[in-house]
Amino acid sequence: MKKVLITNKVLILRILIVLLLFGVVSIFFATIYIKKTALTNLAEDDARKTSELIFENMYTRMQEGWAKEDLAKILKRMEHIREGLKVHSYRSSKVEEILGENKQDKLIVKNDKLIQKAMLGEKQFLIQEDGSIRYLFPIKVSNECITCHYNTKVGDINGVLEVAYPPNEIKISLDIVVYYFFIFFILFMILYFFIFYKIINKKIIEPVVSFTEEIKKVIETKSFSKRAHIKTKTIEIFLLQNSFNKLLDTITYYYNKLLNNLYKDNLTKLPNLIKLQEDIKKLKKYSIIVVSLDSFKTINSFYGVKAGDFLMKKIANLLENYTQKTGKVYRLHSDEFAILTTNEININFCKELLEKIEKTHFTYKQIDICIQASIGVVFNTTQRGLEKAILAVRNAKKEKKDFEIFNDELTLKDEYKNHIKLTSILKESLLNNQLVPFFQAIENAKTRKIDKYEALARIVRKEETLTPDKFLQISKNSKQYHKITQTIIYKTFEYFKDKKEFEFSINFSMDDIKNQETIDYLFKMIDKYQIGSKLTIELLESEELSQFNIINEFIKKLKDKKVKIAIDDFGSGYSNFAYITKLDIDYLKIDSSLIENIHMDKQALKIVKSIINFAHELNIKTVAEKVHNQEIYELLIGLEVDYLQGYYIQKPKAEI
């Protein structure tokens, strides 16, 4: 049923009309009441006074001497004192003994009970149907009366005086009228304002107070789910309430949207890292699987961001479908996902998940794309589960494993201790000349002969040999990285100064290029050994290579020294064909992640073909890294790659 609403103006107008009608009705009934009061209390008093006045006149005439025949005349004359006044007297039995009976009056007394009561000494007042007044006044015997009425005693009733007159002849005191009017006016105003207050309070004040209380509740509880529900027919209050509720709806919508953005990944619509951290806090014991996609940045680079986004959504759907009865899937960042579960899971679950990912072919614009992944998992942990799972997946990638299970015996503190230990080892190695270059052969694909070597940093100690993946990042954190580069430059130059038949290469990162001390040292060594024509500087492929002004200035200086330039790890993530055309380079070294499975991965094969063809169009030589078996070797020869490098050719060693 539709709710009928009115405005405040209409409401006030209605209230005033109601009060006006109430006032009119009140005045009407008050008038009736005053009139009734006058006809009862005041009229009775007036009749009593009139009767006493008539009796006093009769008594005065009696004292002057009068006959019974004069009584009728006297009473008749008394009727002229007021218009419509009728006066009559009735004798008692005692008076009749002296004056005789009046048969007509005797009959009237016999039939009139009021007169009979008056004969007993009771005053009788009656308002008749036509509103006229009838008053019966008992005439009592006083001492003066006994003289004539010798057969009576004081207090006896000598008769009844009847007075009758119309209502319009009632004589009321002005003071009394004013008094009654004043009392009525005061009572009327009190009642009037009481009703006015009750209506205004009910219709306006109470809804506004209720609305204010609802607002206070929202402020105090900070709950946007509450809504104002006020019973009102006033349109302004109703609209105000609706506006307030709509405002809360809007706030709730954007608040939920904000929470959604805060806890949900915009691309995949999966809950994100923040949501995972919040959910973990609610659990006492849980397992976490971290899924990291391998070489996903390469797909982004070659097929574009849209293709990468498409694949990310597909992977998210795959993980959700696979784990819908097991746990909840989250997107951590970029190419990593997490699965949180309180159910029992085992190694087989992880293996099957990996197999599911690797066997699924994703088609984007008629291109089949295959994805590989690494998994880190921690089972039934109670604290720091996410850190442990991330550490496990990092170890899996580092060790080239499909998955790694975090062992609670290996705590995170051990990892931190290891970091401190390696920092110390690095410092000690630089002081004790334990940092040395190892050399890995690079074979010419056409001549099938080795004519180049790449210098790779190693820390050689009595008990172990450490590769750069163990200490390179630590060296940057401990500010020893540039010392490593300079040491490798010196020792490599020193080693190849007498080996004129071989070319050699040294790795340079943007950190090296931006360090003026390292740059100055490099050119100083080139000038000292006069070995520029045999040297290749391998620039590590990264996003920073797009800083063309810095890179091209560095390359130009090297070219002036006859030094060749290679882009290392091309295809590892940031690979962009466009920027290669802006750099004066000689070699493209194809990233090992594309080469190591090229014989099984059709997608990798397509990418490698594209790189080789692109490089040949620009007269740039190509080098394939991580050639670890004959099948890959033969495949790359067939693709017309220019150089090959990897364990199948030769492992890195201290001497060549």
Q: At residue 307, does pLDDT exceed 80?
A: yes
Last residue of a domain, one of 216, 234, 260: 260
- 200 phi/psi in degrees, rounded to 5: -60, -40
* Mean predicted confidence (pLDDT) in 14-20: 74
Q: At residue 638, does pLDDT exceed 70?
A: yes
Assess if residue 201 is contained within a domain.
Answer: yes
Domain co-membership, 615 together with 550: yes
Domain co-membership, 162 together with 28: yes
Domain co-membership, 168 together with 181: no
- 618 phi/psi in degrees, rounded to 5: -100, 10
Listed as own residue / partner, the contacts of 571-574 with beta carbons closer than 8 Å and 24 or more positions apart are 571/295, 571/298, 571/301, 571/302, 571/541, 571/607, 571/608, 571/611, 572/295, 572/297, 572/298, 572/541, 573/295, 573/297, 573/298, 573/300, 573/301, 573/541, 574/297, 574/301, 574/541, 574/542, 574/543, 574/545
Assess if residue 545 is contained within a domain.
Answer: yes
Q: At residue 653, does pLDDT exceed 90?
A: yes
* Threshold 0.75, pTM exceeds: no
Assess if residue 653 is contained within a domain.
Answer: no
Give the whole-angstrom CA distance, residue 459 versus residue 474. Answer: 13
Domain co-membership, 166 together with 179: no
Domain co-membership, 216 together with 102: no
pLDDT cut 70: percent of the chain above it: 88
Domain co-membership, 278 together with 255: no
Q: At residue 293, does pLDDT exceed 60?
A: yes
Q: At residue 73, does pLDDT exceed 90?
A: no
SS3 state at 342: coil
| Containing structural domain, residue 188 | 175-260
CATH of the domain at 371: 3.30.70.270
Residue bearing tokens 């670890």: 628
Domain co-membership, 480 together with 582: yes
Domain co-membership, 525 together with 571: yes
* Mean predicted confidence (pLDDT) in 371-387: 88
Assess if residue 268 is contained within a domain.
Answer: no
The total number of structural domains in the chain stands at: 4
Retrieve residue 15's tokens.
Answer: 């209230």
Predicted local distance difference test score (pLDDT) of residue 39: 55
Domain co-membership, 541 together with 609: yes
More confident site: 73 or 613: 613
Write the pLDDT tens digit of every residue in 571-619.
Answer: 765 456 767 888 899 999 998 888 988 988 888 888 899 899 999 999 9
More confident site: 525 or 419: 525
Predicted local distance difference test score (pLDDT) of residue 446: 94
* Average pLDDT over the chain, rounded to an integer: 82
Q: At residue 1, does pLDDT exceed 50?
A: no
More confident site: 632 or 580: 632
Give the whole-angstrom CA distance, residue 577 versus residue 582. Answer: 9
Q: Which of these, 375, 386, 398, 387, lies nearest to 340 by C-alpha position?
A: 386
SS3 state at 361: strand
Assign 11 a pLDDT band (cuts: 50, 70, 90): low
Predicted local distance difference test score (pLDDT) of residue 408: 59
Domain co-membership, 183 together with 320: no
Assess if residue 537 is contained within a domain.
Answer: yes
Predicted local distance difference test score (pLDDT) of residue 184: 74
Give the whole-angstrom CA distance, residue 130 versus residue 164. Answer: 12
| Angle at 652 (CA atoms; ends 649, 656), nearest 5 degrees | 85
Predicted local distance difference test score (pLDDT) of residue 574: 47
Write the pLDDT tens digit of every residue in 504-526.
Answer: 999 998 889 989 999 999 999 99
Retrieve residue 599's tokens.
Answer: 């014989």
Last residue of a domain, one of 172, 194, 228: 172
Q: At residue 466, does pLDDT exceed 70?
A: yes
Write the pLDDT tens digit of every residue in 186-214.
Answer: 877 787 777 777 777 777 777 777 778 87
Predicted local distance difference test score (pLDDT) of residue 650: 94
Assess if residue 232 is contained within a domain.
Answer: yes
Domain co-membership, 497 together with 620: yes
CATH of the domain at 516: 3.20.20.450
Predicted local distance difference test score (pLDDT) of residue 417: 67
Helix, strand, coil share (%) of the chain residues, nearest 5: 55, 20, 25
Q: Which of these, 165, 164, 120, lies nearest to 138 by C-alpha position?
A: 120
Assess if residue 651 is contained within a domain.
Answer: no
Last residue of a domain, one of 358, 384, 409: 409
In this structure, of 155-159, 306-310, 474-478, 508-512, the range with the lowest mean pLDDT score is 474-478
First to last CA, the chain: 96
SS3 state at 29: helix
Assess if residue 108 is contained within a domain.
Answer: yes
Domain co-membership, 122 together with 238: no
Q: Are 207 and 231 in contact (CB under 8 A)?
A: yes
> What is the crossing angle of helices 602-617 and 296-303, to 10°?
50
Predicted local distance difference test score (pLDDT) of residue 612: 93
